[in-house]
């Protein structure tokens, strides 16, 4: 963080007095929250934007409930996003599958070059394999890769231990890699 940038804590304190200051947190975390929803459910971008907006609306109205002593602001914010995801999922009557034309939403200009060079077929296969994962595994993958959280932070958000998060992520990534490698070997 640059010296001139305010910390999350400073902005939260400012937002308590002046709600307009919350825009700084919105701008800081919008992309991470949106990507969390995109990884989590693979919905259309407009649904991700609606859920992202709900997250920030809830955060602003509940900013007075944020306790600096209980954890970092991003963990609190993603806790709100997680609850919105779960509520939205509970309201769905069917599982939605991401159409292949929305594949470009998985990568953004901020992604490492390695992700951008993966061809569409591999991305589509990866999406299908991720959709087959349990809800818990999908959530951890989303928090890790879309939310850019450490295992410790994911543990704070989900209530799991840091070690449990690490083990589940390791096994899940290995499972996905084996499925992708299995398809390559079957084709090659």
> Does 115 have pLDDT greater than 50?
no
Least confident of 5-9, 15-19, 43-47, 91-95: 91-95
The pLDDT assigned to 183 comes to 60
Nearest to 147, CA basis, from 58, 38, 67: 38
Measured distance CA(36)–CA(40) in Å, rounded: 6
Q: What is the dihedral of CA 119, 122, 125, 127, to 10 degrees?
A: -70
Q: What is the pLDDT of residues 15-28, one digit of tens each?
A: 889 989 999 999 99
User: When comparing pLDDT for 167 and 42, which is higher?
Assistant: 167
pLDDT at residue number 41: 64
Q: What residue spans define the domains of the chain?
A: 8-187
pLDDT tens digit string along 120-134? 667 777 778 887 888
Which range of 33-42, 75-84, 107-116, 172-181 scores highest in mean pLDDT? It is 75-84
In the predicted model, is pLDDT for residue 98 greater than 50? no
Does 90 or 9 have the greater pLDDT score?
A: 9
Dihedral angle sign, alpha carbons of residues 29, 35, 37, 40: negative
Q: What's the predicted TM-score (pTM) here?
A: 0.63
Average pLDDT, the chain: 79
- Predicted confidence at residue 103, as pLDDT, reads 46
- Sign for the CA dihedral angle at 46, 88, 55, 97 comes to negative
pLDDT, position 52 = 92
- Weakest-pLDDT range from 4-18, 63-77, 102-116, 133-147: 102-116
pLDDT given for residue 55 in this prediction = 95
Is residue 111 scored above 50 in pLDDT? Answer: yes
- Check pLDDT > 70 for residue 176: yes
DSSP string, the chain: --TTSPPHHHHHHHHHH-GGGGHHHHHHHHHHHHHHHHHHH---HHHHHHHHHHHHHHHHHTGGG--GGG--HHHHHHHHHHHHHHHHHHH-SS-----GGGGGGG--TTS-HHHHTS-HHHHHHHHHHHHTS-HHHHHHHIIIIIS---HHHHHHHHS--HHHHHHHHHHHHHHHHHHHHHHHHHH-
């Amino acid at each position: 963080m640059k010296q001139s940038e305010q910390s999350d804590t400073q902005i939260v304190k400012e937002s308590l007095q002046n709600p307009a200051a919350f825009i700084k947190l919105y701008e800081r975390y919008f992309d991470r929250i949106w990507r969390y929803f995109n990884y989590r459910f693979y919905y259309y971008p407009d649904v991700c934007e609606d859920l992202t907006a709900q997250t920030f609306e809830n955060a602003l109205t509940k900013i007075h409930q944020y306790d600096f002593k209980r954890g970092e602001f991003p963990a609190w914010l993603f806790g709100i996003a997680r609850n919105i995801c779960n509520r939205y999922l509970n309201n769905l009557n069917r599982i939605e599958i991401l159409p292949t034309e929305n594949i470009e939403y998985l990568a953004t200009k901020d992604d490492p070059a390695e992700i951008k060079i993966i061809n569409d077929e591999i991305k589509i296969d990866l999406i299908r394999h991720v959709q087959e994962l349990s809800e818990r595994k999908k959530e951890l993958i989303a928090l890790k890769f879309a939310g850019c959280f450490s295992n410790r932070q994911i543990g704070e958000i989900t209530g799991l231990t840091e070690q449990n998060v690490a083990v589940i992520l390791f096994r899940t990534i290995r499972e996905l890699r084996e499925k992708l490698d299995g398809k390559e070997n079957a084709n090659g």
